[in-house]
Each structure stands twice: as structure tokens, then as C-alpha cells.
Amino acid sequence: MRLRAILDLGGRDVYWQMAIDEALLVLRREGLIPDTLRIYRFKPSAVTIGYFQRVRDSVNLGFLEEAGIPFTRRITGGGSVFHDENGELTYSVVLPIKGDLTDVQESYRIICDGLVKALEKLGVKAEFAPVNDILVQGRKISGSAQTRRAGYLLQHGTLMYATNLDLLEKTLAAPREKLESKGVRSIRERVVTLEQVIGRVSLEELAEALLQGFAKSLNAEVYVDELSERELEAASKLVDKYRDPGWVFKR
């Protein structure tokens, strides 16, 4: 297969990033764009929460408001994520649901394998931990989330290369039960950044590793492209949803 890749590393706010991801799914489903991988970052730093989460249980709302950190709800399930402007890279991919991607859990494994292979390229041994995590040295370095609509899937996920863990810990609320089940006392103890493992890696180097990783995991020939006017226009129609308190606080 051929996979279009968009390196969107300049950074956009959380509302636009979520709107673009949803727009890509909509346009792919309508047959207006090809299978597409996007690699991007959030600017400014932001928080997203999973579709099924309650704001009050998943983030430290007081801190987010005090620090002026924007946040929104994703259309995908999973947990809350701190997207550090200077320490976290995000990927998203839209694909038709067929073959090995039909089974949900298997599709997580296949797509997450792109990150595992990217990390291997950088000399880091990583492993997929079902449902949706990637671990390095037993700690989480990446989490992914997927939604499915009418025969197509959108999966997006994180890669913490130099996330500020102090800030991460202040922004997210992790239930005591969850931490205990992972055998840790704090979120900080459960996660790891690439910087902690191999030192600082440039964004460009990381993005290139991700392109190669996804090419391998999806058995695809990757070509680099840019976001089109059509995609940005489709996203502009969705962006207000992600700013709307009715959406953000819907649960």
C-alpha cells in the first residue's frame, strides 16, 4: 500500500489538532483523501481527555485553569494525555478497516508497532502492552486511542520524547486504583521519556524514525505531502466543537 504522510511539526492548538484528525477521518471515509499518516505537535501545551472520561476525574481542573493550559475531549476513548509543546510528538493515521485491521485489538497492535519500530530505529527496545500502550523499561512512553466509523478508523497516539513530567503530574488526575494496579504510587513513576533513556533527540530525527516505523508496520510505501486546503477547511468546520464547553464537559 501507499501511505501519505504529513509532517505537521510547526504546532497548532489542541482544538485545531483534534479538528484536523477528525476531518481526516471524515474525508477518508468520503473517499476524498488517501490513507494518511500525520505527525504533529501541540502548541501551546495542552491536555486531551478520552471520549468516555469525566473532566473532574481525569484532569486537575484547578491547575489547568490557573496555568492557562487548554484542554478538550477527544472523539477517541482512552485516558487523559498531557501534550507537552516541547516534549511530545503525536501521530494520527486514517485507514480502511480491512484484513488484519478488522479486529480492534489486533489493529492497535499493528499500528502501535509503527512506534515500536521507530523506537528500535533509535536504538530503544520497546514493547506493545495491550490495550493501547507502549512500554520502555517497563514504563509507558506512548499511549494510543482509536475510533471507528463506517469502515474507517482513526488512531492517534503520543510519543513522549522529553515531556516535562512535573507538569504532566500536575495536569493529570490518575485514580488511586489505577496507580495501585500498576504497582506505582504516582503517574511520574509509571512513565518514561525518550530523553531519560537515550538523551535528547531532535524532532526531525524522531519524525523520520516514525515514518520508517509506520512504513514497516503497515508494510507501506510512504510519501510525504502537506495538508490540503480541503482538509483545513473541513477542520475549520469542526474546530468550534472542540472549544465548546458543551462538548468538553459532556460527561
Q: Give the one residue of 6, 19, 47, 75 binding other proteins; rule: CB under 8 A.
A: 75
Using an 8 Å Cβ cutoff, are 194 and 201 in contact? yes
The C-alpha cell at 26 is 471524515
In whole angstroms, give the CA distance from residue 237 to residue 60: 29
Based on the shown chain and the rule CB under 8 A, indicate whether residue 146 belongs to the binding site for other proteins. yes
Based on the shown chain and the rule CB under 8 A, indicate whether residue 114 belongs to the binding site for other proteins. no
Query: Smallest distance from the beta carbon of 52 to other proteins, in angstroms?
Result: 5
In whole angstroms, give the CA distance from residue 27 to residue 29: 5
The piece of 70-78, 85-93, 223-231, 239-247 that touches other proteins (CB under 8 A) is: 70-78
Based on the shown chain and the rule CB under 8 A, indicate whether residue 175 belongs to the binding site for other proteins. yes
Q: Considering the complex, state which of residue 108 and residue 220 has its C-beta at the smaller distance from other proteins.
A: 108
The C-alpha cell at 94 is 486514517
Burial of residue 87, with CB atoms counted within 10 A of its CB: 0-12 exposed, 13-18 middle, 19 or more buried: buried
Q: Considering the complex, state which of residue 86 and residue 102 has its C-beta at the smaller distance from other proteins.
A: 102
Q: Considering the complex, state which of residue 84 and residue 133 has its C-beta at the smaller distance from other proteins.
A: 133
Instruction: Look at residue 54 and give its three-state secondary structure.
Output: coil
Q: In 3D, which of 170, 181, 76 has the Cα closest to residue 132? A: 76
Q: Give the one residue of 65, 85, 105, 137 binding other proteins; rule: CB under 8 A.
A: 105
Based on the shown chain and the rule CB under 8 A, indicate whether residue 53 belongs to the binding site for other proteins. yes
Based on the shown chain and the rule CB under 8 A, indicate whether residue 77 belongs to the binding site for other proteins. yes
Using an 8 Å Cβ cutoff, are 194 and 162 in contact? yes
Q: Give contact residues for other proteins (rule: CB under 8 A).
A: 50-54, 57-58, 75-80, 104-105, 131-132, 145-149, 175, 177-178, 181, 251
